[in-house]
Protein backbone atom coordinates (compact mmCIF):
# COMPACT_ATOMS: atom_id res chain seq x y z
CA UNK A 1 0.00 0.00 0.00
CA UNK A 2 1.48 3.37 -1.01
CA UNK A 3 1.86 6.12 1.57
CA UNK A 4 0.50 9.65 1.11
CA UNK A 5 1.95 11.17 4.28
CA UNK A 6 4.82 9.92 6.41
CA UNK A 7 5.62 11.42 9.82
CA UNK A 8 8.88 10.49 11.52
CA UNK A 9 9.67 11.40 15.13
CA UNK A 10 7.79 14.69 15.25
CA UNK A 11 8.40 16.65 18.46
CA UNK A 12 7.03 20.01 19.52
CA UNK A 13 7.34 22.00 22.70
CA UNK A 14 6.10 25.43 23.71
CA UNK A 15 7.90 27.27 26.53
CA UNK A 16 9.45 23.99 27.65
CA UNK A 17 6.14 22.09 27.69
CA UNK A 18 6.23 19.01 25.45
CA UNK A 19 3.14 18.72 23.26
CA UNK A 20 4.33 16.09 20.78
CA UNK A 21 6.86 13.48 21.86
CA UNK A 22 8.16 11.71 18.78
CA UNK A 23 5.05 11.08 16.68
CA UNK A 24 5.70 8.51 13.97
CA UNK A 25 2.94 7.27 11.70
CA UNK A 26 1.94 7.10 8.05
CA UNK A 27 -1.28 7.92 6.22
CA UNK A 28 -2.06 5.45 3.40
CA UNK A 29 -2.97 6.82 0.00
CA UNK A 30 -6.65 6.50 -0.93
CA UNK A 31 -7.90 5.84 2.61
CA UNK A 32 -9.73 7.79 5.30
CA UNK A 33 -7.75 8.08 8.53
CA UNK A 34 -9.22 9.46 11.76
CA UNK A 35 -6.96 11.11 14.32
CA UNK A 36 -8.54 10.80 17.76
CA UNK A 37 -7.53 11.44 21.35
CA UNK A 38 -8.55 13.31 24.46
CA UNK A 39 -8.34 17.11 24.68
CA UNK A 40 -4.70 18.09 25.00
CA UNK A 41 -3.40 14.96 23.29
CA UNK A 42 -1.75 17.09 20.60
CA UNK A 43 -4.09 16.47 17.64
CA UNK A 44 -4.45 20.06 16.43
CA UNK A 45 -0.77 20.76 17.03
CA UNK A 46 0.08 17.76 14.86
CA UNK A 47 -2.24 18.95 12.09
CA UNK A 48 -0.76 22.45 12.31
CA UNK A 49 2.71 20.96 11.84
CA UNK A 50 1.56 18.76 8.95
CA UNK A 51 0.00 21.75 7.17
CA UNK A 52 3.03 23.98 7.78
CA UNK A 53 1.51 26.54 10.15
CA UNK A 54 4.09 25.73 12.80
CA UNK A 55 7.47 24.01 12.61
CA UNK A 56 8.42 20.93 14.62
CA UNK A 57 11.38 21.02 16.98
CA UNK A 58 12.44 17.65 15.58
CA UNK A 59 11.31 15.09 13.04
CA UNK A 60 10.51 14.93 9.33
CA UNK A 61 7.43 15.02 7.09
CA UNK A 62 7.16 13.40 3.67
CA UNK A 63 4.29 14.02 1.25
CA UNK A 64 4.16 11.33 -1.44
CA UNK A 65 7.82 10.60 -0.80
CA UNK A 66 9.01 14.23 -0.93
CA UNK A 67 10.49 15.84 2.18
CA UNK A 68 8.31 18.89 2.97
CA UNK A 69 9.56 19.48 6.53
CA UNK A 70 11.09 22.86 5.68
CA UNK A 71 8.45 24.06 3.21
CA UNK A 72 5.89 26.78 3.95
CA UNK A 73 2.14 26.31 4.36
CA UNK A 74 1.36 27.79 0.93
CA UNK A 75 3.97 25.57 -0.73
CA UNK A 76 2.34 22.53 0.86
CA UNK A 77 -1.07 23.72 -0.31
CA UNK A 78 0.22 24.04 -3.86
CA UNK A 79 1.65 20.53 -3.56
CA UNK A 80 -1.87 19.31 -2.79
CA UNK A 81 -1.92 19.20 1.03
CA UNK A 82 -5.12 21.02 1.98
CA UNK A 83 -6.80 21.60 5.34
CA UNK A 84 -9.76 23.16 7.08
CA UNK A 85 -9.79 24.67 10.56
CA UNK A 86 -11.78 23.89 13.67
CA UNK A 87 -13.32 27.37 13.52
CA UNK A 88 -14.50 28.74 10.15
CA UNK A 89 -12.14 31.07 8.30
CA UNK A 90 -13.00 32.92 5.11
CA UNK A 91 -12.65 36.24 3.31
CA UNK A 92 -15.80 37.62 4.82
CA UNK A 93 -16.10 40.53 2.36
CA UNK A 94 -16.24 38.13 -0.62
CA UNK A 95 -19.39 36.43 -1.76
CA UNK A 96 -19.73 32.69 -1.23
CA UNK A 97 -19.12 31.88 -4.90
CA UNK A 98 -16.11 34.25 -5.03
CA UNK A 99 -14.64 32.53 -1.99
CA UNK A 100 -14.82 29.16 -3.70
CA UNK A 101 -13.56 30.57 -7.02
CA UNK A 102 -10.47 31.85 -5.24
CA UNK A 103 -9.80 28.41 -3.80
CA UNK A 104 -10.41 26.78 -7.18
CA UNK A 105 -7.66 28.64 -8.96
CA UNK A 106 -4.25 29.09 -7.38
CA UNK A 107 -1.90 28.48 -10.30
CA UNK A 108 1.67 27.45 -9.54
CA UNK A 109 3.16 30.71 -10.73
CA UNK A 110 0.80 32.99 -8.84
CA UNK A 111 0.46 34.10 -5.24
CA UNK A 112 -2.71 34.39 -3.20
CA UNK A 113 -2.25 38.18 -2.94
CA UNK A 114 -1.80 38.37 -6.69
CA UNK A 115 -5.08 36.60 -7.22
CA UNK A 116 -6.83 38.97 -4.85
CA UNK A 117 -5.45 42.13 -6.45
CA UNK A 118 -5.83 41.35 -10.14
CA UNK A 119 -8.94 40.97 -12.28
CA UNK A 120 -9.58 37.43 -13.49
CA UNK A 121 -9.25 36.87 -17.21
CA UNK A 122 -12.75 36.20 -18.47
CA UNK A 123 -11.97 32.66 -19.66
CA UNK A 124 -10.29 31.73 -16.37
CA UNK A 125 -13.09 33.39 -14.42
CA UNK A 126 -15.75 31.42 -16.25
CA UNK A 127 -13.91 28.14 -15.62
CA UNK A 128 -13.39 28.93 -11.93
CA UNK A 129 -17.02 29.96 -11.51
CA UNK A 130 -18.18 26.74 -13.14
CA UNK A 131 -16.11 24.69 -10.69
CA UNK A 132 -17.28 26.81 -7.76
CA UNK A 133 -20.98 26.46 -8.58
CA UNK A 134 -20.73 22.71 -9.06
CA UNK A 135 -19.00 22.33 -5.70
CA UNK A 136 -21.48 24.63 -3.97
CA UNK A 137 -24.29 22.43 -5.23
CA UNK A 138 -22.57 19.37 -3.74
CA UNK A 139 -22.36 21.21 -0.41
CA UNK A 140 -25.97 22.47 -0.56
CA UNK A 141 -24.89 26.10 -0.76
CA UNK A 142 -25.96 26.90 -4.32
CA UNK A 143 -28.80 29.07 -3.01
CA UNK A 144 -26.36 31.14 -0.94
CA UNK A 145 -23.80 31.74 -3.70
CA UNK A 146 -24.35 35.49 -4.11
CA UNK A 147 -24.41 36.56 -0.45
CA UNK A 148 -21.29 37.55 1.46
CA UNK A 149 -19.51 34.82 3.38
CA UNK A 150 -19.97 36.86 6.57
CA UNK A 151 -23.75 36.37 6.30
CA UNK A 152 -23.58 32.56 6.45
CA UNK A 153 -24.59 30.69 9.57
CA UNK A 154 -21.95 28.79 11.53
CA UNK A 155 -22.88 25.52 9.90
CA UNK A 156 -22.92 27.08 6.43
CA UNK A 157 -19.46 28.56 7.02
CA UNK A 158 -18.17 25.06 7.74
CA UNK A 159 -19.80 23.82 4.55
CA UNK A 160 -18.06 26.70 2.76
CA UNK A 161 -14.70 25.45 4.07
CA UNK A 162 -15.56 22.01 2.72
CA UNK A 163 -16.52 23.53 -0.64
CA UNK A 164 -13.24 25.45 -0.86
CA UNK A 165 -11.28 22.28 -0.11
CA UNK A 166 -13.18 20.29 -2.73
CA UNK A 167 -12.69 23.03 -5.33
CA UNK A 168 -8.93 23.06 -4.74
CA UNK A 169 -8.82 19.33 -5.60
CA UNK A 170 -5.87 18.38 -3.41
CA UNK A 171 -3.96 15.13 -3.03
CA UNK A 172 -4.41 14.99 0.76
CA UNK A 173 -7.35 16.64 2.52
CA UNK A 174 -7.12 17.33 6.25
CA UNK A 175 -10.16 18.32 8.30
CA UNK A 176 -9.99 19.62 11.88
CA UNK A 177 -13.30 18.86 13.62
CA UNK A 178 -15.30 19.93 10.57
CA UNK A 179 -18.49 18.46 12.04
CA UNK A 180 -18.17 19.91 15.55
CA UNK A 181 -21.18 21.99 16.61
CA UNK A 182 -23.26 21.13 13.55
CA UNK A 183 -26.81 19.83 13.33
CA UNK A 184 -27.22 16.13 12.64
CA UNK A 185 -28.52 16.69 9.11
CA UNK A 186 -25.44 18.75 8.17
CA UNK A 187 -23.15 16.15 9.75
CA UNK A 188 -24.81 13.40 7.72
CA UNK A 189 -24.37 15.43 4.53
CA UNK A 190 -20.67 16.01 5.23
CA UNK A 191 -20.27 12.33 6.03
CA UNK A 192 -21.81 11.50 2.65
CA UNK A 193 -19.32 13.80 0.89
CA UNK A 194 -16.42 12.18 2.79
CA UNK A 195 -17.57 8.73 1.74
CA UNK A 196 -17.86 9.76 -1.89
CA UNK A 197 -14.35 11.22 -1.80
CA UNK A 198 -13.02 8.01 -0.26
CA UNK A 199 -14.79 5.92 -2.90
CA UNK A 200 -13.04 8.01 -5.55
CA UNK A 201 -9.67 7.19 -3.99
CA UNK A 202 -9.10 10.52 -2.21
CA UNK A 203 -6.79 10.53 0.82
CA UNK A 204 -8.38 12.07 3.92
CA UNK A 205 -7.06 12.74 7.42
CA UNK A 206 -9.57 14.10 9.91
CA UNK A 207 -9.75 14.96 13.60
CA UNK A 208 -13.07 14.03 15.15
CA UNK A 209 -14.56 13.43 18.63
CA UNK A 210 -17.79 11.90 17.33
CA UNK A 211 -17.00 8.18 17.45
CA UNK A 212 -20.18 7.31 15.53
CA UNK A 213 -18.78 9.37 12.67
CA UNK A 214 -15.34 7.82 13.06
CA UNK A 215 -16.83 4.32 12.85
CA UNK A 216 -18.90 5.32 9.84
CA UNK A 217 -16.13 6.99 7.83
CA UNK A 218 -12.65 5.90 8.85
CA UNK A 219 -10.74 3.01 7.31
CA UNK A 220 -8.13 3.33 10.03
CA UNK A 221 -7.59 5.24 13.28
CA UNK A 222 -4.56 6.81 14.93
CA UNK A 223 -5.08 7.26 18.68
CA UNK A 224 -2.91 10.01 20.13
CA UNK A 225 -2.31 10.05 23.88
CA UNK A 226 -0.10 12.51 25.76
CA UNK A 227 1.71 13.53 22.60
CA UNK A 228 2.46 10.01 21.35
CA UNK A 229 0.85 7.48 19.03
CA UNK A 230 -0.65 5.04 21.53
CA UNK A 231 -2.50 2.78 19.06
CA UNK A 232 -3.10 2.73 15.31
CA UNK A 233 -4.69 0.33 12.88
CA UNK A 234 -8.09 -0.57 11.49
CA UNK A 235 -10.99 1.39 12.97
CA UNK A 236 -12.60 -1.64 14.59
CA UNK A 237 -9.30 -2.85 16.05
CA UNK A 238 -8.41 0.49 17.67
CA UNK A 239 -11.86 1.39 18.96
CA UNK A 240 -12.27 -2.04 20.56
CA UNK A 241 -8.88 -1.93 22.26
CA UNK A 242 -9.53 -2.04 26.06
CA UNK A 243 -6.73 0.43 26.79
CA UNK A 244 -8.06 2.92 24.22
CA UNK A 245 -11.57 2.58 25.66
CA UNK A 246 -10.25 3.18 29.17
CA UNK A 247 -8.08 6.17 28.24
CA UNK A 248 -10.53 7.81 25.82
CA UNK A 249 -13.91 7.01 27.35
CA UNK A 250 -12.91 6.38 30.94
CA UNK A 251 -14.74 3.06 31.14
Tell me the per-residue pLDDT of 205-246, one tens digit each, with 9 for 90 and over: 999 888 888 998 899 999 999 999 999 999 999 999 999 999
The number of distinct structural domains making up the chain is 2
CA distance 160 to 89: 9
Decide which of 134, 169, 204 is a domain's last residue. Answer: 169
Q: pLDDT tens digit string along 92-148? A: 778 999 989 888 854 444 444 445 444 445 446 778 888 899 999 988 899 999 999
pLDDT for res 240: 93
Q: Is residue 70 domain-shared with residue 102, that is, in the same domain? A: no
Of all residues in the chain, the percent with pLDDT exceeding 70 is: 90
Give the mean model confidence (pLDDT) for residues 49-73. Answer: 95
Q: Is residue 71 domain-shared with residue 195, that is, in the same domain? A: yes
The DSSP annotation for 117-169 comes to HSPPPHHHHHHHHHHHHHHHHHTT-GGGTTSBGGGS-HHHHHHHHHHHHHHHT
pLDDT for res 111: 47
pTM above the 0.95 mark?
Answer: no
Of all residues in the chain, the percent with pLDDT exceeding 90 is: 47
Decide which of 169, 197, 227 is a domain's last residue. Answer: 169
CATH code for the domain of 249: 3.40.50.300
Residue 251: domain span: 1-80+170-251
Residues 6+ apart with CB under 8 A from 102: 91, 94, 112, 115, 116, 164
Q: Is residue 221 domain-shared with residue 103, that is, in the same domain? A: no
Q: Is residue 59 domain-shared with residue 124, that is, in the same domain? A: no
Taking all residues of the chain, what is their mean pLDDT, rounded to a whole number? 86
Rg (CA), the chain: 18
Q: Is residue 112 domain-shared with residue 64, that is, in the same domain? A: no
Amino acid sequence: MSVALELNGLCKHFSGIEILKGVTTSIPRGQVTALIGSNGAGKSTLLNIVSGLIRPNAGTIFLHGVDITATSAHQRARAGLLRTFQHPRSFRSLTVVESVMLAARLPEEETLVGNLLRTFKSRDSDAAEGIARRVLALCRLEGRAEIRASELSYGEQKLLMLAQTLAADGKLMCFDELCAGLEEGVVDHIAHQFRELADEGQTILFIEHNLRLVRQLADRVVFLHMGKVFREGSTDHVLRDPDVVQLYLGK
